[in-house]
Structure 1
Amino acid sequence: MSGTVFNNLELEILESLPIPIAVYDTEHNLLWANRAYQEAAGLSKGDVGGKKCWIARVSKEPCENCPVTSALQTGLPAEVEFTPPLTEDGQGTRGKWLVKVVPLIDKTGSITAAIETVCEMRSQKDTVEEVSGEAEENFETLAQSARDAIIIIDATGRVIYWNPAAERIFGYSCSEMMGQDVHEVLVPEELREQAREGFETFRKTGDGPVVGKVVELTAKHKSGALIPIEICVSPVQKHGTPCVLGIIRDIRERKNAEKALVESQKRFEQLSVLLNDVVWVAHADGSGLIDITPSCENLYGVPRERFFAKPDLWLEMVHPLDRHIAQASAEELFQKGKSEAEYRIVRSDGSVRWVLDRRSLLPNEPGDSKLIAGITTDITERKELQEKLQHQLEFVSWLYRAAEKLVEDFSLVEQARFACRAAVEAFGLTLAWLGKAEKDGSITLLAQYPEDISYPREIRVRWDESPEGQGPTGRAIRSGSPQVTEDISKDPRFSPWQDHALKSGKIASAGAFPLIARGNTFGTLNLYSDQIGVFAKERILQIQSFAHLAATALENARLYEESCSRIERITALRNIDLAITGSLDLRMVTKVALEEIRRQLHIDAASILVLDPFTQTLQYLDATGFDSKRISLTRIPLGRGVTGRAPLEKK
């Protein structure tokens, strides 16, 4: 049989099963039975072969409604309940069996055998009592050790079971709660009517708002305090009586934690917005962003949702020239566990911002995916301040070098030339000229740079209230503060010089900076650019600082030249005095006097005329520097011409 129906492995498996299994041929003869079947039927191994199915089941006659017959005839599974009699030796079981038979059909469709399985059927009462006893014991064990409150109430809503966790959560002992109306004691007054209606619905229909669901509600503690709870209600039978089982969890700690978390998150987001910091967390494998603070919208200028939809959006917004910095920082993160980099981003509106990007790999549990936490800070203002400080430092260094240069030479003209050239080169301008303010309201040109531009030599500028004094130069001297014309073509006050300026092709805007030293205005430093609007506030302050430095140097040079001139005049007077006292020869005295006059006045020729009181004429006495001797014939009537009026007016 074993070779025709089952192979050896299948037989070993069937033999080891605890379920009674037997195989019958088409004549109802027992072919094979496993050990469990032999024990159940009281058969020995030698008794198996050849027995009819009803004999094997300890019966003297064929069974009514035999399942083997049915299966063999119909080719369909069959089953029957069977109560075998006691064996002759009194062994065996009187219990009821459930016999199931399945036909075996070969490849041709023919029925070759039938497989029978037998299960002992115990009485429902015995089973229920056994299960109920075990369940009661297990329930009590679990309920006593449970962290959740387990409460059972009867059909009237009164407590019939109250575990230790319920005592801890609600503050009532078991003895206090037994027989109490649970709605009256635990439900807040404003919710009590609603709870009673729900319970009444449950009694009538077996359904309700909290039946078979986990619902958050509010309950009342013995102290009167309201506590948040989670409750799940189910119908149960206790000793055959319908009851309601409620499992209740105290969620105060969770609610407090949730509230603290929400408040913390809110404070964190407010702080991040206040600090302009963007805080984010992402998967290290690049699969997506987990969270990012709303401040990202202020920094990047794009909606927060776009960062979730496109994880590499941040890299796309990095300035193309700085993208390699951001990528290198990302690589460093995986090598060292953290990274930090400064780079520029281009916002959605096209503006450029500087950011500080700090990242760290977060520690993770074994098997969990790695996370990256990052803080992106807007450092644009810091960068701009650093750049501004660097420019200021460079300017101060340049100003110091300029000061050294200005004190090298006490020549007024040379210092004026240096000031013009330095201003053009340092501030990126096209023209500079320096003018000295004269007492009569005119401006004297001292120097210019570059010298090949004729504009300063072609114009007439004053600092009084005349039309030529209404330009930036005149206004700067009168006000003592810088004056700027942003666009010379649109400022009517610049009209006297507009044609010359536009003709030069080098002038579009102009600025005049007063040269003030020791409270006195020496003149102005006049600067020009071929661009409109180049005189920004910061540049004006820098130029004025240089102008003050130049003014001091120019004033010192002026005082030096005046001092030298006075010394020379004194020396000249001394030489004349020595000539007068050391010689009685008038010609010798006049000769010395004429040479000193030529030298002090920087003139080519000079003559001395004396007044003849009798003829009232000025007559030649001596002369020097004249090519012709006809000067000796000079006779000028008193009062005629400039020379004739000088003695009369004494000036």
Structure 2
Amino acid sequence: MTRSFCTTKTSVADIPFKQIIGRPYYDIFPKTDGPLPCCTQALETAEKMEAEVGAGDATYRSRTFSIHDEQGAYLYSVHVLEDITGRKRAEEQAAKEREKFHMLFDAISDAVAIHNMEGRFLQANRSACEHFGYSQEELLQKNVADIDTPEFAAKVAERIKVLYEQGHLVAETAHLRKDGSVIPVELNARVITYDGQPAVLSVARDITERKRAEQELVESRQRAQHYLDIADVMLISLDTQGRVQMVNRKGCEMLGHPEADILGKDWFDNYLPESARNVVRRIFAQIMDGDIVPVEYFENNILTASGAELTVAWHNSLLEDETGKAGGLLSSGEDITARKQAENTIQHANRALATLGAVNRALVRATDESELLQAICNAIVGQRGYRMAWVGYVQHDAEKSVKIMACAGEYAGYLDTMRLTWAETERGMGPSGRAIRSGKPQLCQDMACDPLYLPWRDEALKRGYAASLALPLLGADQAVFGILNVYSGEVKAFVASEVALLEEMADDLAFGVRTLNVRRERDLALEQGQRHFARLHKSMEDTVQAIANMVEMRDPYTAGHQGRVAGLAAAIARQMGLPEDRIHGIHLAGVVHDLGKIQVPAEILSKPGKISSIEHSLIKAHPQAGFDILKDIEFPWPIAQMVLQHHERLDGSGYPQGLKGEQIILEARILNVADVVEAISSHRPYRPGLGVDAALEEITRQCGTHYDAAVVNACLALFREQHYKFQPASF
């Protein structure tokens, strides 16, 4: 039973204290069917007992011990009940929170760990264990330095120092796994309080893929930079403000600046000549504002470190952001300075060539000296770039004056103000006077700055003249008889190649003047020469015909054979489309093709019966004999070769050389067919004529074997389509 009750309350279970004394405690609080087990055990064992007791929603801690007398006899028990409901609930909530924390902790995909300020691991999630390849028990035995590669392990103390000072740290490091492999990670660490002590919470993210991607990006950029640097053109990128964002090696070379000095600089202010700066910047701004589309091809000068200017041909491409708005300009530029200079030289040379051509045409057409001089001046100013031209003749008077003979262009009174002389006076020191005295071209590339041009400067500048060239006209004795002056509206207008061509033009003009007076005599001499040549030509052909007639006089049975062969051969050649001059040569060769028979005895040529092998050999020698007679005569055509080869056959069965195919000249192949057709169709001492049909059948049968197919086809067309008939022999 309850003997006493100590509490801070005035009642327990709504029962006043006075009513509690003497009653069993388990009837009152907490209400149970009997004594609490801890009380019974304390009574039995005489030891202090402790247990938790639930009473409804409340939880109590029960502590019981027994009191005994000096003999050890039990006297009573002391039972203490402590309400621990709040603490118990707090512990349960804390357990749930810990469980939830561990669930979240382990669910994090990054490696998360807690270590003390000495680097000893205190906690690690599942991902950290998988990350390092250790079990949690193994990992908690490690120090931070144990899982870093040697390179980064040496920096652990330094990192912890930074954490002490700043409270957080983000850095890249490399972790060493249990299997020895290395993982690059991004470490995010922060100082926290853990179990009442400062500690470090670190999150390690595996950045292997990022590192690989970064490496690939670096390699890609290196390749791209390599491609940019090996390009033989300047490549630059400008942002919307015109600042240089990228330039390749060629660009640095062209500008004469290192890359570091170029990047970020304003392109227009630093690398364009002042004369082009504002225009190009305005066009760029309009492109960036979307007012105009980029000019795909553009030429302008750039300014180099040395102050020199280069002409660059640009190809431009607009850079756009993700919204399609202009984000800058990418341009490739080719140094075309040399090309432009060459083009300028070519342009000037072409101008001079055109002038030279026009002058030469005028030279050809001119029949009068005054007409020629005026035509020359007109031809010069007719070319773009020449404003005025005049010709003057040297006068050998007391003043050594120059008489204007012709002029063209924009002169408007200028020549009246010149008062030219070739004397060594102030007015004789200009290009004209010097050219007359020296006999060499004299050039003034800038009238405004040339002190020797002072007497005429103001009048020249009024009329837009800027440069002039004085060209001496030389006679046959190389003495200067006149002067040709050419004026341009451009400073430095005359390049070396142009001066050379204009000098040639002046020589042509001088020659034209010299030759005008002898042209009629030259034409007369040419006419007389042509008549003489015609007479010689006629004499040569008459001689050839006379020789042919001599051969036929020795062989009356074949009289007219050579003439008929000549006529047919010429007709075949014409049918084949050969030029008339070549046809004439073939005809002439046909007339004398049997000339070699002059060495064959007449009785063999006219023998009516079968001839012997020796006699046949003598006859077969006639092509060679004819060649030997004709070979030293200089005909305009290969007459001797035609005679030598007219019995050759395509398959090599002919004579005297056994030539084949293309070894036989075409003229001989034509004579070959004409000779066979005429011989078969005509009478011979040993047989009557077989007629044209038999002859055509023969050449058709042997076409491509003995006779050239093109020649045979032309011959057949003559007889079958054009009904060719042999004409009486004539030359």
- Which band: TM-score by shorter chain? 0.3 to 0.5
Between structures 1 and 2, the one with greater helix share: 2
What TM-score do the two structures reach when normalised by structure 1? 0.45
Between structures 1 and 2, the one with greater strand share: 1
